[in-house]
Structure 1
Amino acid sequence: MKIMKTIEKIPGGLMLVPLFLGAIIRTLAPESGEYFGSFTNGLMTGTVPILAVWFFCMGAGINIKATGTVLRKSGTLVLTKIAVAWLVAIVASLFIPDGGIQSGFFAGLSVLALVSMMDMTNGGLYASIMQQYGTKEEAGAFVLMSLESGPLVTMLILGTTGLAAFEPQAFVGAVLPFVVGFILGNLDQDFRNFFSKATHTMIPFFGFALGNTIDLTVIAQTGLLGIILGILVIIVTGIPLMLADKFIGGGNGTAGIAASSTAGAAVANPMIIAEIKPEFLPEAQSATALVAAAVIVTSILVPILTAYWSKHMDKKNKKPVIKDENNATVL
């Protein structure tokens, strides 16, 4: 059976399929983890320790010796994405109440949801797209996108906008596994080769554990709102990213569109933030569902839009063929 290949055909499948499997169990048999206990309960409820290992391996896989071009391109995209999410948090906080919107079409919408879906790019999706439509350096720009992974950037945005107050040790605790992995991976290439292999392996496990915190009735309630927010992520982050790529990164905007997706790992951020700051618990489940919808929508639309823009720019930059009186091409 080609189960793995089938899952990989689904946008963000390695993350989303286990997540929805866990959500089904949580919806139909919410006491399953406690009933079985032991390792089964740990697998179903161990979101934080599983993610801690994943962050460590992610850090170990980043090579500090990336070329200057790659660093400039990736730095431009990462900082732009974070800046846009920060501005969105400021503006949204003026209209969305603490705890999120509780009723109506926008029920479940919160600043936490918006920041979580906008501050992280799907690095794997970006790399695969740019390998086809960009240069080698542009494809390699995903190296710094790993720095967005995890709750640290979301915590910084919520903290600097005054939406939450985190103790200094909370920031250190959130980033420490990543930093330790990064240091070890760059001190010893064997470490980097060994731990980086586990990065993709861990994705289904934290997806499944995360799914076991979600009631599918909440996802059903997001419906059209989740789709709209996914499109909004591409528009709100994509336009600034295109401009930054063109005027700072030296590209033609293609890399900017390719970076306008929502990372699969972003689905975990609302619950992780809620673990750190319990006041976010009431909105975390709805935020998780909305972020999951944004992951799916952006994973489908971003490759299509990137391909269209790349072909458009190729046609625009293609020099017209001029013939002389003998029908010979004039150079």
Structure 2
Amino acid sequence: MASPVTRRESRHFSFISLPIEIRDLIYANVWAPKLQLHVFFKNGRLVTAACLGAQTGDESTGTRVPSGEEMTLADNRPRGWASRDLVILRLHSTWGNHYRCEEDWNPMPGHISTERNACISLLLVNKTIYAESIRFLSQHLEITITDTDTALYLNDDAKPVIHDSPPPMIPRQLLRSIRSLNVTLFGSVDLFIALALARDYNATTPLEVVNQEFQQKVRATMDSNQERAVGLLPKARQWHQIWPGIAALPHLVRVNLWMNHSSFDSWSNINERAILEPLQRATWSPEVELVVYLPNIASDNIVPGEQFNNNDEDGLNFRVVRRVRCPDRVAEDSRVLFIVHDMSAREQEEMGDQGLSWDLGEMSIEMDRI
């Protein structure tokens, strides 16, 4: 019969004494539910949230909102958990096709969020486990970013230390060592027009010069409110600054970019080629797989000089995948909300024949009250 382990002997056993293969298996079990994270700034602090996966548009088929998410408008009473306010929030969320992740991180009253990122504390145990966790996570962690401020944080410039700011929930060292990155850009039409117009400027151009010339270009387009578009110029400049830094991440092998706007307008009004020029200009490792997910455009709406078609991929360093817009536009009859994808002229006529109205004014007013 083996002698029991004494307290003194038990002190000699440690996790670090296990073979590295065993430790990796333990890390895999600890981190398994947390290998997909959103990273963003909240009140000046870099924080994380669980990623539940992108909504690919399967539920946006141009028909009624799926069972369980319908909304009876006649008496303004929700038939499922997706209330009218929740649908409005989804349509205006900057998280785009990750709107369910945002709802989980910041749930509406009466909803429960999933446990998120408790295992981040594993990085605080000691230096050895910190280093091993960074090594393991850099190989398996998938990060999703939904704003340009966080994307700019990934660049190689030294970041100033702000002693009064709370510590980040995830080390920058880990962010810069990731292999898989998702970037979602979802905003107003004005933002995308600003991105296209700002492509001729770089970080070395004096801001006052950029601002003056930019206003002239905005006035020339007649497609956007001048004041709003000019106000988005700093964000547009950030967009052109982030991609060289992302391309320079040393261990990156996969990048997915999702783009969509929150307007009722067709995506065919957006100059995709101008907006994606920074990706084309960046120097990518041949090992990086770069995929850009763009909303569907009806073939009769494609402008060759502004949108991509199936014949363009030979000259690009990224692959273009078309998808259903999600969440997109909301059409109403007297009873039910409809989520509708980007339609051709014929499809719009067919929806009109069904008696649907396309006035979002009421929903916009309600959004202002939330």
> Same fold, TM exceeding 0.5?
no
Compare relative contact order (CA 8 Å, sep 6+) and give the higher one, 1 or 2: 1
- What range describes the TM-score normalised by the shorter chain of this pair? under 0.3
TM-score, length-normalised on structure 1? 0.26
More strand by proportion, 1 or 2? Answer: 2
More helix by proportion, 1 or 2? Answer: 1
TM-score, length-normalised on structure 2? 0.24
Larger radius of gyration: 2
